[in-house]
Every structure is written in C-alpha cells, then in structure tokens.
Amino acid sequence: MSYINNMENENYIMAVQRTVEIRNNYGGAELARKLGISHAAVSKWKVIPPFRAYQIAQLGDYKLEYIRPDIKFGVGPQ
C-alpha cells in the first residue's frame, strides 16, 4: 500500500471517529433536529455526509475540515 493510500485511510478513520464525537456532543436526536432530518438518519452515519458536514460546520462548533478530514473541500480543477 502506498503512502498516499495510508494517509487517505488514516483520514477516513479520523472522520469515523469524529462522527461519533460530534453525534455524542450534540446528542443524536438534537443533531437531527438541528439539521431537520430524522434521528434514524443520523444514527446510520458511519461518516457524516459532505452536505451534512457543511451544515454542522455552520452551527459554529466545528470546522468543516475537522469534521471530514478525508475530503479536500474547496479544491477543484485548476
């Protein structure tokens, strides 16, 4: 496995851990209410979906890059 694949895997693992952290911090039901979705939807997340990560970042407690370290937000074709 290459170094890049290892880094991507480590970042994904951090995203999984941060999903648990954020869900525990807000409480699954409260996070669902804030996002306007069902608690069942929140409890199914292994990682927070990109759009939901953006919404959570807008709540002000977490930065987008912290929530999903496995995604390079704002990086597009040059």
* Model confidence at 4: pLDDT above 80: no
DSSP reduced 3-state for 44: coil
CATH number at residue 39: 1.10.260
Give the residue among 72, 74, 68 at the shortest CA–CA distance from 55: 68
Summarised one tens digit per residue, pLDDT across range 38-74 is 999 999 999 999 999 999 999 999 999 999 999 988 7
17, amino acid identity: Q
User: Residue 36: inside a domain, yes or no?
Assistant: yes
Domain span holding position 49: 3-67
Summarised one tens digit per residue, pLDDT across range 33-47 is 999 999 999 999 999
pLDDT of residue 75: 63
User: Residue 74: inside a domain, yes or no?
Assistant: no
User: Residue 60: inside a domain, yes or no?
Assistant: yes
Each as own residue / partner, the long-range contacts of residues 44-49 (CB below 8 Å, 24 or more positions apart, any chain) are 45/19, 46/16, 46/19, 47/12, 47/15, 47/16, 47/19, 48/15, 48/18, 48/19, 48/22
**Structural domain count, the chain:** 1
